[in-house]
Amino acid sequence: MNVGVIGAGYVGLVAAACFAESGNEVICADIAEGKIAALNRGEIPIYEPGLDELVETNASAGRLTFTTDIAQAIRGSEVIFIAVGTPQDTDGSADLKFVLGVAETIGKNMNGPKIVVNKSTVPVGTADLVAEEIRKHTTMQFDVVSNPEFLKEGSAIDDFMKPDRVVIGTSSVEAAEIMRELYSPFVRTNNPILVMDNRSAEVTKYAANALLASRVTFMNEIANLCETVGADVSHVRKGVGTDSRIGPSFLFPGVGYGGSCFPKDVRALIRTGEENSVSLDIIKAVDQVNNRQKGRLVQKVIDHYGGAAQVKGKTFAIWGLAFKPRTDDMREAPSLTIAKQLSEMGATIKAYDPEAMETAQSAFQSMGVEVTFCKNSYDATDGADALLIVTEWNEFRRPNFSKISEGLSQPVIFDGRNLFEPSKMARLGFVYHSIGRQVSGA
């Protein structure tokens, strides 16, 4: 099948590579000339495990091509995926200017029947808006399909190739069959392809992300309660998660969620509710609590040193900057809040991340926060007063504690991801602060 993907960002690039891997002829188009030039040189603009090999293999085989000629991609494709950004607008809603801009371009370049697929995360009613925009410029037949993505950064290839489910929103029997054919190689283990109306498909994406964000935030609130009453959230999490009605996923306490999806999608869903006079109070609370949780580790630092004034002049090492491991994505990462708050109190920040150093440098510069980026994790702890663990990269799980202790002026760790056992840390001589558990070694 001839497939066009408009947008070579995270979702578009993963979709293009995976569709090509299943034998389709895929054209991936983007207006960013530098990005397309880099892709044509074999350079991947994002860090996603396995993506570089997949792109290289299919580009070499001629099944995957990259171009800035969006009109060409439209004319040469039977199925056209819109996979451009929907950034958060000032009122919290999703800004659809890029999606509707692509719809206009599709309408102006129609050369036969097309299936236009919304792959971007868009609010309810967007399929209607896309169809309306295309109709302004063509009388040719087309169908608009809503096909939300459910990719986790760090495991996007597996998520695409082995999906829990595929959601297809359309009222067209013919479009549904073509979409089933396109996705059939990925559901050979009989995971479902769910066909529904466009609006239900659009709401499904936001509802799924909001529910996952709610689970994360709920456990963070329980963790904060555990600290106060003397309970251990690790035990509570297992006690709750082994209930078959609940399950263990997304119940790990920490310093709040970030990234390109949860924060933006939660706020967009809140805005959709407001526009339709539906007050989504639980979802509003999720957003508020998550923003507060990002400062939880900083409050532990303040309490440990006896006040914000005592933080001034101290140096803190931060391990992990990306919002989660196996990505270089810094969007709404908790590390941004943590470093900013400590910096505003007069502290010095030294930081290390296995993959996100370049994107982090740009993010901190735009915020006006000065950070010293270190060549490795132990370089960050050398001369620091304490270590803050913010992202749970695997290489941080079994560190050399002797080197950490030798580097720090005092053996103090603030662990925002609960990587270690408090009793072990006390035996090793550390004052160890974690989330939802009692301080050890104090």
Position 6 scores a pLDDT of 98
* Ramachandran angles phi, psi of 206, nearest 5°: -65, -40
| Whether pLDDT at 150 is above 90 | yes
Residue 391 lies in a domain: yes
Position 122 scores a pLDDT of 93
Q: 367 and 306 in one domain?
A: yes
**Residue 159: domain span:** 2-196
Position 89 scores a pLDDT of 84
DSSP reduced 3-state for 82: strand
Residue 307 lies in a domain: yes
* HSE-CB for 320 with a 13 A CA cutoff: 25
Report in angstroms the alpha-carbon separations of 156 from 1, 183, 344, 411: 22, 16, 36, 38
Q: How far apart are CA 225 and CA 186, in angstroms?
A: 43
Position 90 scores a pLDDT of 83
CATH number at residue 129: 3.40.50.720
| Whether pLDDT at 94 is above 90 | no
* pLDDT tens column, 333-376: 999 999 999 999 999 999 999 999 999 999 999 999 999 999 99
* pLDDT tens column, 26-66: 999 999 999 999 999 999 999 999 999 999 999 999 999 99
Widest distance between CA atoms in the chain: 75
Residue 441 lies in a domain: no
Position 93 scores a pLDDT of 86
Q: 256 and 125 in one domain?
A: no
* Percent residues over pLDDT 90 in the chain: 96
| Whether pLDDT at 138 is above 90 | yes
Residue 97 lies in a domain: yes
CATH number at residue 215: 1.10.1040.10
Q: 231 and 299 in one domain?
A: no
Total domains in the fold of the chain: 3
- Give the position of tokens 């925009």: 133
Mean pLDDT of 416-432: 97
Residue in 18, 226, 261, 374 annotated catalytic: 261
Structure confidence at residue 158 as a pLDDT band (50, 70, 90): very high
250, 276, 291 — which closes off a domain? 291
* pLDDT tens column, 107-123: 999 999 999 999 999 99
Q: 32 and 149 in one domain?
A: yes
Residue 439 lies in a domain: no
| Whether pLDDT at 91 is above 90 | no
Q: 364 and 271 in one domain?
A: no
Measuring CA to CA, which residue among 93, 90, 86 is closest to residue 269? 93
18 is catalytic: no
Q: 374 and 286 in one domain?
A: no
Position 92 scores a pLDDT of 85
Mean pLDDT of 385-398: 97
